[in-house]
Amino acid sequence: MVALPLAVSNAFALDICIRVFLFAFIGAAWNLLGGYAQQLSLGHAAYFGLGAYTSTLLLIRAGISPWIGMIAGGVVAALASLPIGALCFRLRGPYFAIATIGTAQALMLLFLKFRDFAWGAVGTTIPNLGNSPLMMQFAGKAAYYYLALGLLAAGLAVTYWVERSWLGYYLVAVGEDQHAAEAVGVNVPRIKRDIYLVSAFLTGLAGTFYVQYIYFIDPNTAFSFNVSVEAALVSIVGGIGTPWGPVLGSALLEPASALLQSWLGGGAHAGVQLALYSVILIAVILWRPTGLLGAVTEVYARIIGPARPPASPAGGALRKGVPLDG
């Protein structure tokens, strides 16, 4: 995987790989909150957009490198998650999801109004400085490939770290049953706030990467509802509450949609991508609500032999360790 760009020079194939890594990374960030803690956000575009705008504003207004801007974007996104979380976590289940849609849409409307400060609805292009790695701009796609792969590796590392720390156990307890978790002494509001902070920070990094990759930003791109949808979608299709679920989901969905779009020829068939996604989502929810990762491990176990235990449901890897049996 690391050597792939050396062998493949096809820009289209590399572009698909970059999208796979990027959305697997966003999915991993979403999965910390949505998968482990079962707080089903449909507003992660808010943090994607804040990350994208922070680094772009710093770059264009102050000439600060997007490498610094990326971290700043993550911090801004993480800080924004505090008040947003304080409001939205007052709601449960579907109403939490609706409130998060509301916050992302409200931020988009806000940035549409910032005409002088942030270019309003027109958006802006990122000044092209040629090949300047210090400003996160590269001549070929290979560098973006490694950067996206690095982000994904970082996202997976954070997921594994969270899964193995005390935070992971608390998260799964919150996800299973908030009242029971509170009853055994888990500080539920704090746990939710902390994981939202981490999830928002990572999503902010993805926002910076994306604008540096496509060289353009406007509120409709940065706060696109599609980003919120895909963040949740790759995790659910792959396997919610598992480290590799978002990776599998992204590896299935992104190439499928890219190939479909290039086959149909772009703009003439707007809507095909989301129609395809929604059919896949309906099928997964009706036939395999724990995601396809479980199916893959089951098939693998059947071929290799019965030594491995059968696939466990969402968060299963953690569930056996949750101190909630009593």
Partner 1 sequence: MTAVVAQAVVNGLLIGGIYALVSIGVTLIFGVVKIVNFAQGEFVMIGMYISYWLATLIRLDPLASLAVSMPALFVCGVFFQKFLLRRVLGLGDMPQIFLTFAISLLLMNVALLLFTADYRTVQTGYTFASLRLGPLYLSVPRVIAFAVAMLLSAALEIFLRTTDLGKAMRAAAQNRDVAMLMGVNPDRVFSVAVGLALALAGAAGSLLMPFYPAYPTVGQQFVLFAFVAVVLGTLGNVRGALIAGLMMGMAESLGVQFVGADSGLIVVFAMLLVTLAVRPGGLYGGQTR
Residue 252 interacts with partner 1 (CB under 8 A)?
A: no
Interface mask toward partner 1 for 220-239; x: CB under 8 A: ---------x--x---x---
Which member of 269, 298, 300, 302 binds partner 1 (CB under 8 A)? 269
> Taking CB under 8 A as the rule, does residue 282 contact partner 1?
yes
CB-based contacts of 304: which residues, under 8 Å, 6+ apart? none
Q: At closest approach, how far in Å is the CB of 98 from partner 1?
A: 5
191 touches partner 1 by CB under 8 A: no
Q: CB of 298: closest distance to partner 1 in angstroms?
A: 20
Question: Which of 185, 267 has the CB closer to partner 1?
Answer: 267
- Least gap, CB of 176 to partner 1 (angstroms): 10
* Under rule CB under 8 A, residue 157 binds partner 1: no
HEC sequence for the chain:
CCCHHHHCCCHHHHHHHHHHHHHHHHHHHHHHHHHHCCCCCCCCHHHHHHHHHHHHHHHHHHCCCHHHHHHHHHHHHHHHHHHHHHHHCCCCHHHHHHHHHHHHHHHHHHHHHCHHHHCCCCCEECCCCCCEHHHCECCCHHHHHHHHHHHHHHHHHHHHHHHHCHHHHHHHHHHHCHHHHHHCCCCHHHHHHHHHHHHHHHHHHHHHHHHHHHCEECHHHHCCHHHHHHHHHHHHHHCCCCCCHHHHHHHHHHHHHHHHHHHHCHHHHCCHHHHHHHHHHHHHHHHCCCCHHHHHHHHHHHHHCCCCCCCCCCCHHHHCCCCCCC
Binders in 287-316 for partner 1, by CB under 8 A: 289, 314
Instruction: Please state, in angstroms and rounded to a whole number, the distance separating the CA atoms of residues 29 and 13.
Output: 24
- Nearer Cβ to partner 1 (166/263): 263
Q: Least distance from C-beta 29 to partner 1, angstroms?
A: 17
Site residues (CB under 8 A) for partner 1, limited to 96-115: 97-99, 102-103, 105-106, 109
* 38 in contact with partner 1 (CB under 8 A): yes
CB of 95 to partner 1, least distance (A): 6
Looking at 48-56, 94-102, 123-131, 303-311, which segment touches partner 1 (CB under 8 A)?
Answer: 94-102
Nearest approach in angstroms of CB 284 to partner 1 is 9
Does the footprint of partner 1 cover residue 190 (CB under 8 A)?
A: no
Q: Residue numbers of the site for partner 1 (CB under 8 A)?
A: 38, 40, 42, 87-88, 90-95, 97-99, 102-103, 105-106, 109, 229, 232, 236, 240, 269-272, 274-275, 277-279, 281-282, 285-286, 289, 314
